[in-house]
Structure 1
Amino acid sequence: MIIIPARLASTRFPGKILADIHGLPMVIATAKRVQNLDNVAIAADTDEVVELAQKHGFKAILTSQNHQSGTDRINEAASKLNLPEDEIIVNVQADEPFIEEAVVKSVIERAQKTEAMITSACKKIDLLHVKDPNLVKVILDIHGNAIYFSRSAIPYDREGGFEGYLGHLGIYAFRKNALETFCALPYAPIEHIEKLEQLRAIYHGHSIAMVEVQSQSFGIDTPEDLERALAFFS
């Protein structure tokens, strides 16, 4: 099942999940992008978003407004939906209205074949974006599992000329029991430093399987991102 965590409050872009994307609220546009891949549910924190989702024909679950992350929100939703323990749950961010079906499909297929706690995705990025702290970088081991995620440029290119940087895409797949385990783990020091919750899994010795994809999509964090996305995908 695909669960979209939908938090109405946003520090940098209040109400962004309701922003207009070619005639649809952003969260609905995102749901429609992935509805052909699996069942979709929207995990909302307000009655307004629940009613909006239902109006457009999507299952919606009202969740607590006190969650610290979208992962905690989808964990509550998965529990309320009584999903099987081995169900693959894909967390697609509500602010990814242009995410490609092929990206989500690749993550699902990788999740079906791995025993890693989490499955996620990455793509090659150019040098212009390497130093952008809003674009998270990742390095992989020989098996395609994540070694580390950082807002800094990793690996550090001491001699210059390295062009193999990978940017992380904010999509995650868990089996339900792994999702429950992850949410029960203590917070990790590196998670607080980088402000990246996926580092919690690595800190506690769990694996994150990665799949490299081709994607032009990007998350919308600010009004400027929205303008850029609408122009790019017009």
Structure 2
Amino acid sequence: MKNIPECYGIIPARYASTRFPAKPLADILGKPMFWHVFKRAAQCPELLKTVLATDDTRIYSAAEELDVPVVMTRPDHPSGTDRVMEAADILDLPGDAVVVNIQGDEPAMKPKMLTELVEPFVDSEILVTTMAKKIRAEDAENPDQVKVVFGENNRALYFSRSIIPYARDDEKPELYGHIGLYAFRMKTLKRFVSMPAGRLENTEKLEQLRLLENNIPIHIVVTDYQSIGVDRPEDIKKVIKAVSL
């Protein structure tokens, strides 16, 4: 049986955010949000190492105080994935490694989700993976909940803030919400950051569309695990309930 390549987790943590400034430092049960993300990621046995990548001295100092491995990156990255690439370079990760981009606003993430995310890399044809979960129609109406459609081979067809697929008649299609965890082969990550943002990416403000616009396939891992992303301050209450369970 083929083995999964060496896997490394990187958590991008940017201080500035239009909807939620200083989000990585948001208090959840006495610890900053990034700490909860790191602690859960560190429980994934497939990850050899997990590191926080930030652009801000306040986050960097807080990470050091909490013994969270951290690297300082440039403040001008256009996306979290670009920050992950710089961190991978700083860490001098192997060229054949799988790099996992762990969103810093997923403090309720289950470690098993990361295992599910990297398992497909036993297949050498898989270049990028991300996750999706079935959602209710009412949840799909929220533009913060990104939707994804994919083919029979689990290859992503499109991501959107709009409801996809659109039910023209009365039928109720299966709707899948995107979970913002990604894993890249190192060569694909390097290619991603070398490409300019695409037309669809700029329209939807979804960086994963850059891959699809450049014919780089994304493999969708459908999970049964629930994840609660933090987009706005009011989401903290839901997360506190989830991480307390």
- Identify the TM-score tier after normalising by the shorter chain: over 0.9
User: What is the SS of the residue equivalent to 1:110?
Assistant: helix
Distance 1:19 1:35 in 2: 20
Is residue 2:92 matched to residue 1:92? no
Distance 2:173 2:149 in 1: 13
Match of 1:42 in 2: 52
More displaced 10-residue stretch of structure 1: 112-121 or 1-10: 112-121
Is residue 2:38 matched to residue 1:31? yes
Distance 2:162 2:124 in 1: 28
Do the aligned residues in 1 keep the contact of 2:107 with 2:239 (CA within 8 Å)? Answer: no
Aligned length: 234
User: What is the SS of the residue equivalent to 1:3?
Assistant: strand
CA displacement, residues 196-230 of structure 1 (integer Å, 9 cap, x when unaligned):
11011111111000110012222101111112222
Is residue 2:6 matched to residue 1:2? no
Structure 1 segments, 4+ long, off by >6 Å, are none
CA displacement, residues 59-91 of structure 1 (integer Å, 9 cap, x when unaligned):
211000111111000100001111111111101
TM-score (norm 1): 0.96
Distance 2:61 2:185 in 1: 28
Distance 1:176 1:53 in 2: 25
Alpha-carbon RMSD across the aligned residues, in angstroms, is 1.3
- Where do residues 45-194 of structure 1 align in structure 2 (5 Å cutoff)? 45-194=55-204
CA displacement, residues 155-192 of structure 1 (integer Å, 9 cap, x when unaligned):
11111232411110000000111100011112210111
Do the aligned residues in 2 keep the contact of 1:126 with 1:163 (CA within 8 Å)? Answer: no
TM-score (norm 2): 0.91
Gapped regions of structure 2 (runs ≥ 5): 1-7
Identity of aligned residues (%): 39
Distance 1:127 1:90 in 2: 30
More displaced 10-residue stretch of structure 1: 9-18 or 114-123: 114-123
Gapped regions of structure 1 (runs ≥ 5): none
Match of 1:209 in 2: 219
